[in-house]
Copies of this chain bind each other. A is one copy, B any other.
Amino acid sequence: MTVTSVRTELYSQVQHFYAHQMQALDGGRFEDYAATFTEDGTFQHSPGAEPAVGRAGIVAELVRFHERFADDPVQRRHWFNHIALEEQADGSIRSTVYALVVTVRPGGVPVIAPSCVVHDVLEASGDGVLLRSRLVTHDQLS
């Protein structure tokens, strides 16, 4: 296996980017989550879904998705593992990451489902990392 040589600095930067990004999502800070995408970034949370486009579109989709939980004091935690990066010819970075969703309700025990794979395209610059696109596939639908 040829592991694409990726700069150490980039690898740490992407890990840290994901940590802040997913804590924003799980904390209900949808504007912060959307701001991790490029201006015209796309977010598709399952292969069958219509992608949300642009930061305002991503916020709208997240608000819509969470409406059904308005009266449900659920806490979600998106866990990531095995971040595999590949630099693309156009300078972007393909990132393939395992994900598990942990769901907890008051007094309950964690439910860990679904198991997913996150397919990201990232842009990295001196200013940091931004997400050009995210598609999430679900193992139970394979």
Interface residues of A (CB under 8 A from B): 1, 3-6, 8-9, 11-13, 15-24, 29, 32-33, 35-36, 73, 75, 77, 79-85, 96, 98, 100, 102, 104-110, 112-115, 128-129, 139-142
Contact = CB atoms under 8 A, between A and B. Distances in A.
A60 B3 CA distance: 22
Number of copies: 3
A12 B21 contact: no
Nearest to A73: B142
Given A3-B128, A19-B82, 13 more contacts: A1-B32, A3-B21, A4-B20, A5-B128, A16-B84, A19-B84, A73-B142, A75-B142, A102-B115, A104-B139, A105-B140, A110-B112, A110-B113
